[in-house]
């Protein structure tokens, strides 16, 4: 084996020195480069995980907010429908009351009109009776004045009928 090492011209002292140098370089790189780099990578991983967790929490909050908004919308819609139903019921009650008032007023006006018509009919009958009485008296006077003969009586009756 020594022959093989001497055939490749390997010097043990140089090989050991190179191994020591390599170990020093690895230690320096690990201590000054890899360790801080690993720490920064770990910090970045933690920040990314925190960001993902916060994004997930925000997503859940958004879903909860959307659900609350939907619930509020449904509640508001139900309340609006209840209000509309109450308004319809109130309007119907008001319509019934107004209809009843209008019917009562119409009945009262009709009764007043009928009473006035009856008074006017009674008055007209009394006036007509008075006029007829006057005409009968006038006719009787004319008949009595001119009642001389049958022919004149008939002419007078015809004349009075025409005047009437």
- Residue-number span of the structural domain to which 68 is assigned: 2-130
In a domain, 96, yes or no: yes
pLDDT at residue 97 tops 70: yes
In a domain, 41, yes or no: yes
**What's the pLDDT tens digit per position in 38-88?**
999 999 999 999 999 999 999 999 999 999 999 999 999 999 999 999 999
In a domain, 158, yes or no: no
pTM (whole model) above 0.75: no
Distances (CA, A) of 70 to 8, 83, 84, 137: 83, 20, 21, 98
In a domain, 161, yes or no: no
Residue 31: both structure tokens together: 């201590």
Radius of gyration of the chain (CA): 64
In a domain, 119, yes or no: yes
Q: Considering its fold, how many domains does the chain have in total?
A: 1
CA distance 117 to 130: 20
**What's the pLDDT tens digit per position in 116-137?**
999 999 999 888 888 887 777 7
């Amino acid at each position: 084996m020594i022959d093989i090492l001497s055939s490749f011209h390997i010097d043990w002292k140089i090989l050991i020195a190179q191994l020591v140098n390599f170990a020093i370089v690895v230690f320096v790189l690990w201590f000054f480069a890899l360790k801080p780099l690993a720490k920064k990578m770990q910090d970045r991983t933690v920040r990314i995980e925190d960001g993902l967790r916060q994004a997930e929490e925000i997503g859940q909050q958004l879903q909860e907010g959307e659900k609350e908004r939907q619930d509020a919308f449904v509640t508001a819609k139900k309340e609006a429908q209840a209000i509309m139903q109450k308004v319809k019921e109130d309007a119907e009650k008001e319509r019934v009351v107004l209809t009843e008032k209008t019917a009562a007023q119409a009945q009262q006006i009709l009764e007043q009109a009928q009473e006035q018509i009856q008074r006017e009919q009674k008055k007209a009958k009394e006036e007509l009776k008075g006029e007829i009485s006057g005409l009968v008296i006038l006719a009787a006077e004319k008949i009595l004045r001119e009642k001389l003969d049958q022919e004149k009586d008939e002419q007078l009756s015809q004349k009075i009928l025409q005047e009437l």
